[in-house]
Chains A and B, each alone.
Chain A
Amino acid sequence: GQNIDQPTEMTATEGAIVQINCTYQTSGFNGLFWYQQHAGEAPTFLSYNVLDGLEEKGRFSSFLSRSKGYSYLLLKELQMKDSASYLCAVKKFSGGYNKLIFGAGTRLAVHP
């Protein structure tokens, strides 16, 4: 099986920095995604990591440590519109193909 753990909720202040952690346990690990989802809307792609290290994309960065089964999403210069759920998703290779398994998501509330 596989476990993906993220905090259920986080709060932060506008303009600040927040780090959302994700730990996972799975066989056949083949990459990790971060998605943003506003309530009732489609998840939108933020980042993809398959190798260890930090990937930076504007205000958002994502880090992966395969040996530790750990990733984080770093959001800088928080804006009110960043209030959303952030989904960690593990790509698992099994039976000859990839499957994407999502964590339950972290609800981030950004306050003025």
Chain B
Amino acid sequence: DSGVTQTPKHLITATGQRVTLRCSPRSGDLSVYWYQQSLDQGLQFLIQYYNGEERAKGNILERFSAQQFPDLHSELNLSSLELGDSALYFCASSAKEENTIYFGEGSWLTVV
């Protein structure tokens, strides 16, 4: 158990819909990262937050947005969903030093 908690674990939704994925980082970790992993693909960096502020942006679509709240949990919002958005979405967290990044179990999103 990495200490990073993600919900929901599985989600099936229709095209055009909107979903929210939730992440609670490890206790004490200020940085939260979101990654997308499509079937048999590598991890694609989406976005990073540090202590509530956006730190870095990767290949995140405009239909996607995220935020980190004062209690440090984070949410990834995916809207106008398309079939190609079906993937495993990972949240990860790290301490300020960012020497080790720990991943949650992921949220499986299936768009039908």
Q: Give the dominant DSSP class at A's interface.
A: strand
A-B pairs with beta carbons under 8 A, tally: 53
How many B residues are at the interface, by size bracket? 20 to 34
Whether A105 contacts B104 by the Cβ 8 Å rule is: no
How many A residues are at the interface, by size bracket? 20 to 34
Partner of B43, one of A43, A44, A95: A43
Whether B42 contacts A105 by the Cβ 8 Å rule is: yes
Partner of A87, one of B2, B43, B102, B104: B43
Chain B residues with CB under 8 Å of A42's CB are 2, 90, 103-106
Whether B45 contacts A91 by the Cβ 8 Å rule is: no
Interface 0/1 of A75-112, CB less than 8 Å to B: 00000000000010101001101111111110000000
Whether A31 contacts B56 by the Cβ 8 Å rule is: no
Chain B residues with CB under 8 Å of A63's CB are none
Known: A42-B2, A44-B2. A101 touches B103 (CB 8 A): no
Residue ranges of A at the interface with B (Cβ–Cβ < 8 Å): 31, 33, 35, 40-45, 48, 50, 87, 89, 91, 94-95, 97-105
A50-B99, A97-B50 known, 7 other contacts, Cβ within 8 Å: A42-B90, A42-B106, A44-B103, A45-B101, A48-B99, A94-B56, A100-B33
